[in-house]
Amino acid sequence: LVEPFVPHPQDTEYYININSVRDGDWILFTHEGGVDVGDVDAKAQKLLIPVDLAEYPSNEEIAATLLKNVPEGVHNVLVDFITRLYAV
């Protein structure tokens, strides 16, 4: 991913990845993004999206599970982003 730099405070950088496994897809999210993201497996919040999308989590469950360390004021924007990213 290459994009123009936009000045911003470091505490507004987040990290997300999606890993496919036999039972579904793990979404890993951490409020500590940027160049020095570090050991994501150790510090990320994790949510398993099952293969059966009828069991897809609600927006509330996504926020409660993945966004514990993020200010509530940005939960709606991030849940929307996570949902759209997963849909791709």
Per-residue pLDDT tens digits for 18-58: 999 999 999 999 987 766 666 777 789 999 999 998 899 99
All residues at 6 or more sequence positions from 70 whose CB lies less than 8 Å from its CB, including other chains = 14, 31, 78
All residues at 6 or more sequence positions from 24 whose CB lies less than 8 Å from its CB, including other chains = 48, 49, 50, 51
Q: What is the mean pLDDT of the chain?
A: 87
Q: Which class is domain 10-87? A: alpha beta
How confident is the model at residue 70, as a pLDDT? 92
Give the type of residue at 61.
E
In angstroms, the CA 12 to CA 29 distance is 13
pTM of the model: 0.83
Give the type of residue at 2.
V
Q: Name the 3-class secondary structure at 10.
A: helix
Domain boundaries, the chain: 10-87
